[in-house]
Amino acid sequence: MSGSEPQSVNSKYAWSEVPREGAGKRSAADRLADFLEIHGTLDEATAREQASRCIQCPEPLCVRGCPLSNRIPEWLGLTAEGHFLEAAAMLQSTSLLPEICARVCPADRMCEGMCVLGGKSEPVSIWAIEQFLNEYALAHEVAAGTPAPPNGFRVAVIGSGPGGLACADVLSRQGYSVTVLDWRLVPGGLLVNGAPPFRLDRSVIGRRIDALKKRGVTFRLGVKLGEDLIQTEMLNRFDAVYLAFGARKARELEVPGRDLRGVAPALSFLAQPAADDPAAAPPIQVKDRRVVVLGGGEMAIDCVRTALRSGAKEVVCVYRRDEAQLTCSRTDYESAVEEGAVFQFLAVPIAILGDEHGKVIGLRLARTELDSPDPGERRSFVMRPGTEFALEADWVFAALGFEPMPLPADSQFGGLVRNNQGGLCVDERQMTRQPGVFAGGELVRGPSSILEVVRDARRAAEGIHGYLQPAAA
C-alpha cells in the first residue's frame, strides 16, 4: 500500500466525521459517448477512510442483507487498518466471482440498504470499497491461477454463466478436473449476453475465465444438450454433473399490437452486440429513433441506457408503479436520468399502435394508481378509467421480467423430479434425485438474481465434494 493515511478521526464517530464518498463517476456526456464502465476506483487513503465509517455492529444487518452472507464488517475493519490483501482474502472467501458480482449487485437495496447508518447519516460505501479490494487483490495476487494438485475426480458443469463459473471456481481450487460445457460459442451466459459493458466490462469476465483456464478448467463451447451431450455418457465420463444453465423465458407483452414490427424483448436488444451468430437476426438499430421501454427492473434500465448510448433520439421508460417501487438499483436509475432518460411512472400500455405497413408508431397507455399496501406485500396497482393517452415510438422493448421454463419431459435431463413450479427438486446439497447430478439457479428456483445463482453454485460445489469424498467433507 502507499504511504498515504486516512484523515485523523475518532474511530467511534468516524461515520459522522467522515462524509460518505463513493467511487467517482464519469460525466453523463462522457459516458454517453461509449460503452465503458462509468465508475472509477477509490484510492487507498479514501478506501481506509470510508471503511473507518463502519461502526462494527454486534449483529450486522449488512451481512443479513447479503445473499452470500459476506463478512462485511470484518473486511471493512481490515481495510480501515490498511490490510488490503487480508481484507480481500476474507471478502473472496465467501463472495465467489467477487469482481463480477460486485459490479452487478444492487448494493443500495441489499448490504448498503440494510446499513444501520442509513437512519442517522449515509450508509457505508460498501460497494465502492468492495470494488477497490477486488482490483487491489488482482494487481497484487500473482498466483491466483495456480492449479491445485489433482484429486482424481472429474466433474462436468453444464452452463458457463455465473453459476457454472462459480461452481468451477470452487471445485478447481480443490483439485477437481472440471469441464464447463455450453451451447454458446462465447462463455459467460447472461454476463456476456445480457449485462451491458458499461455495467460489466467484458474484460472483467475474460479475466475470470482466463484464471479458471490457468487453474486447469476446460471449456467446451458450441455443445448442445441432447445432441452432443447425452446424460448416460455424461455420467459415464464424469463422476458428478452440475446443471447450471438458464431456464427462463421473457414474460410476453399481452396487449393488442404486440406482433407489430418494432416490438421486441429487451434481452434481444441487449444481447445483440454479443450474439454468437450476428446473421441469425437483423440488427436492431435505434439511432435517431424514439424508443419506449416497458418495465422498472435492472433489464429495463440497462435497455434504456443502452438505447441512449446507441444514439436514440428519445428514450422513455414506462413503469406501472411509482418511482419508489422501482426494482432496479437506485444508482442505475439516477444514472439513467442524468444520461437523458425520461420516465413515465404510474402508466401501463393498453395497445401498441401501428401504421398500414405493420410498423410501430406509438402506444396507447392509461394512468394507474397504487392500492394501499398490505403488510409485507408489494403495492398493487389499478388502471384509472378515462385517463388514456398516446405516446409516439419507433421501437418498443418489453422488460417485464421472466417466467420459469421447465425442462421438457423428453430432454436429456427431463426425467429428473420437478416441483409444482417446474423447478428441479434438490436436497440441501443441491443434488437431484439422480445420484451425482446436481442443479442450481434458475433450473431449481426459477428466475433468480446473480447472487442467488452463485450461492447455489457454492452450495453445490460443497455438495459435490461431500458426495465424492465423504471422508474429507
Same domain, 305 and 323: yes
Same domain, 262 and 364: yes
In a domain, 4, yes or no: no
Where is 232: in which H helix or E strand? helix 231-237
Among the candidates 361, 376, 400, a domain finishes at 400
Same domain, 332 and 238: no
Contacts of 150 by beta carbon, 8 Å cutoff, 6+ apart:
175, 177, 216
Name the nearest CA neighbour of 91 among 122, 49, 25, 47: 47
Same domain, 244 and 285: no
Which segment, 236-240, 328-332, 462-466, is predicted with the most confidence on average?
462-466
Q: Which domain holds residue 192?
A: 154-248+403-468
Q: What average pLDDT does this structure show over 181-186?
A: 90
Same domain, 134 and 186: no
Q: Is the pLDDT of residue 305 over 90?
A: yes
Residue in the structure block whose three cell numbers are 423465458: 249
Q: What average pLDDT does this structure show over 70-92?
A: 94
Same domain, 21 and 81: yes
What pLDDT score was predicted for residue 5?
55
Give 447's DSSP letter.
Answer: S
Name the nearest CA neighbour of 160 among 120, 214, 208, 104: 208
Report yes or no: 398 and 263 within 8 Å, Cβ to Cβ: yes
What pLDDT score was predicted for residue 23?
86
Cell of 243: 446443471
Among the candidates 117, 140, 163, a domain finishes at 140
Name the nearest CA neighbour of 459 among 426, 425, 435: 426
Report yes or no: 127 and 112 within 8 Å, Cβ to Cβ: yes
What pLDDT score was predicted for residue 359?
97
Same domain, 214 and 290: no
Where is 301: in which H helix or E strand? helix 298-309
Same domain, 270 and 377: yes
Same domain, 201 and 285: no
Cell of 318: 414506462
> For residues 248 and 404, what is the distance between their CA atoms, to the nearest angstrom?
5
SS3 for 262? coil
Q: What average pLDDT does this structure show over 395-412?
A: 79
Cell of 452: 442467488
In a domain, 208, yes or no: yes
User: Chain-wide mean pLDDT for the chain?
Assistant: 88
Which of 1-15, 109-123, 276-290, 291-305 comes out lowest in average pLDDT? 1-15
Same domain, 38 and 169: no
Point out which residues pair with 352 in neighbouring strands: 363
What pLDDT score was predicted for residue 143?
47
**Structural domain count, the chain:** 3
Q: Is the pLDDT of residue 1 over 50?
A: no
In a domain, 3, yes or no: no
What pLDDT score was predicted for residue 229?
60
Name the nearest CA neighbour of 444 among 434, 435, 461, 431: 431
Where is 28: in which H helix or E strand? helix 28-32
> For residues 382 and 114, what is the distance between their CA atoms, to the nearest angstrom?
30
Among the candidates 107, 140, 173, a domain finishes at 140
pLDDT band at residue 472 using 50, 70 and 90 as cut-offs: low
In a domain, 178, yes or no: yes
pLDDT band at residue 8 using 50, 70 and 90 as cut-offs: low
pLDDT tens digit sequence for 189-201: 988 888 899 999 9
In a domain, 213, yes or no: yes
Q: 426: domain CATH number?
A: 3.50.50.60
What pLDDT score was predicted for residue 230?
60
pLDDT tens digit sequence for 332-353: 999 999 999 999 999 999 999 9
Q: What amino acid is encoded at 76 in this protein?
A: L
Same domain, 396 and 256: yes
pLDDT tens digit sequence for 310-323: 999 999 999 999 99
In a domain, 179, yes or no: yes
Other beta carbons within 10 angstroms of residue 119's beta carbon come to 7
pLDDT tens digit sequence for 91-149: 988 888 888 888 888 888 899 999 999 878 899 999 999 999 999 988 886 445 567 89
In a domain, 6, yes or no: no
> For residues 211 and 218, what is the distance between their CA atoms, to the nearest angstrom?
11
pLDDT tens digit sequence for 438-470: 999 988 988 888 899 999 999 999 999 999 987
Q: Is the pLDDT of residue 226 over 70?
A: no
Q: What average pLDDT does this structure show over 153-175?
A: 95
Cell of 39: 465508475
Annotate 398-410 with DSSP letters as a single string.
E---EEE-PPPTT
Q: 77: domain CATH number?
A: 1.10.1060.10
Same domain, 51 and 126: yes
In a domain, 278, yes or no: yes
